[in-house]
Amino acid sequence: MKACNQCGKCCINYSDGGLSATAEEIAHWEAYRPDIFEYVSEAGDIWVDPTTQTPLRRCPWLRQVPGQSKYTCDIYAERPGDCRYYPVAIEHMIADGCEMLEAHDLKRPKQAQRELDRLMADSRPPLE
């Protein structure tokens, strides 16, 4: 498995209504990051147009690096858990076209899942 190359496929694939935020994350944004909170609907859906309250087609915080096929996140340190914990499963990575996967990962998905779990151990909440 390769390191993330910032291809942005995960952000692009899930930013069209595929993400959620916890009540705690939303409360934090409301208190400390009103610039993020303005993209949260009254129902708690994230990445909605602040004026019309309609869902955005793409995450408002995703930026393509000029002249490159890399992406960055303007709220990386404050991104929702859905973003922080991705990728979770090899199956999702395959479906998303994640560029971290290598040919041998596809041939041995259980081994690849163990490697992914090791790589993401610091990013995920502890199991209860």
- pLDDT tens-place string over residues 21-32: 999 999 999 999
How far apart are the C-alpha atoms of 98 and 86, rounded to whole Å?
A: 11
Cβ(77)–Cβ(15) under 8 Å?
no
Instruction: Quick: pLDDT tens for 42-95.
Output: 999 999 999 999 999 999 999 999 999 999 999 999 999 989 888 888 998 998
Residue 73: in which H helix or E strand, if any? strand 71-73
Cβ pair 45, 4 in contact under 8 A: no
**Dist CA 51 CA 88 (whole Å):** 33
The ranges assigned to domains in the chain are: 9-120
Amino acid, single-letter form, for residue 104: H
Peptide linkage before 87 cis (omega within 30 of 0):
yes
